Amino acid sequence: DFLFFWGAVFLVTTTLVAFLKKENQELIPAKEETKGITDTYRLLFSIIKMPAVLTFCLLILTSKVGFSAADAVTGLKLVEEGVPKEHLALLAVPMVPLQIILPLVISKYTAGPQPLNTFYKAMPYRLLLGLEFAFLVWWAPKVKHEGGFPVYYYAVVVLSYALHQITLYSMYVAIMAFNAKVSDPLIGGTYMTLLNTVSNLGGNWPSTVALWLVDPLTVKECAGAQGHSCATAAATEV
């Protein structure tokens, strides 16, 4: 119902924009940056062939591997350990004002000549929070009781998530600031879109791989079935 409602709102608002919003003809530049999709991709290819851009793309494609498992799997594992999904969803609510404030605060430190310094400084803390998340998953069954989980457990989870958001946004704002700084103003939109797309891809593919590896890397024990490791789906079924 929630998704259906907001899907309907999205369709209605975008349709209204399409029909009611008119372009300001006076502000449209006479000459466009590129003439078509072919020219745009040719331009992107020429940008990515530059040695500095190619090296930077390789770095941002691999920089998030270290915390991909913690980011992608922690919530699922907490649910698996018995933490109600609706409680985890509620814990995300206090993060919203933090997510609004953080870019404003962090932008002061990324506005200088070396915005990536913030990225470097935040990385080790984000890696350490991966260990913290692993501890939260391990700790969950230890503190669980008949009524659910104690308040102090949820307090630790919220604090851990808040610290994680600080490191996440420090890296995100820093990389955006750097992309804006190095992009050629003449083709700024195309240049920034390329770098931001690669940056987003660098965050998505490690999470996908981490989720795929969860099952084969999980150590399982079969209760009441000696000689079975439950390592495969067929063995688990048996």
Tokens read off for 232: 């495969």
Phi, psi dihedrals of residue 145, rounded to the nearest 5°: -130, -175
Inside any domain, residue 164 = yes
Write the Ramachandran bin of 35: left for phi over 0, alpha for psi from -120 to 50, otherwise beta: alpha
Which residues make Cβ contacts (< 8 Å) with residue 236, sequence separation at least 6? 220, 222, 230
Name 145's bridge partners: 148
Q: What pLDDT shows up at residue 28?
A: 55
Inside any domain, residue 9 = no
Inside any domain, residue 33 = no
Structurally, the chain folds into a number of domains equal to 1
Mean pLDDT, residues 88-108: 89
Inside any domain, residue 10 = no
pLDDT tens per residue, range 45-72 = 888 888 998 999 999 999 999 999 999 9
- Residue 43, pLDDT > 70, answer yes
Mean pLDDT, residues 153-168: 93
Mean pLDDT, residues 199-225: 86
Inside any domain, residue 4 = no
Q: Residue 122 is which amino acid?
A: A
How many Å apart are CA 36 and CA 146, to the nearest integer? Answer: 63
Q: Residue 39 — very low, low, confident or very high, per pLDDT cuts 50/70/90?
A: confident
Which residues make Cβ contacts (< 8 Å) with residue 68, sequence separation at least 6? 203, 206, 207, 209, 210
Tokens read off for 54: 């190619």
To the nearest whole percent, how much of the chain has pLDDT over 70?
92
Best CA proximity match to 116, nearest among 173, 50, 190: 173
Do 38 and 97 contact (CB within 8 A), yes or no? no
Inside any domain, residue 203 = yes
Best CA proximity match to 198, nearest among 227, 175, 170: 175
User: What is the extent of the structural domain holding 156?
Assistant: 47-211
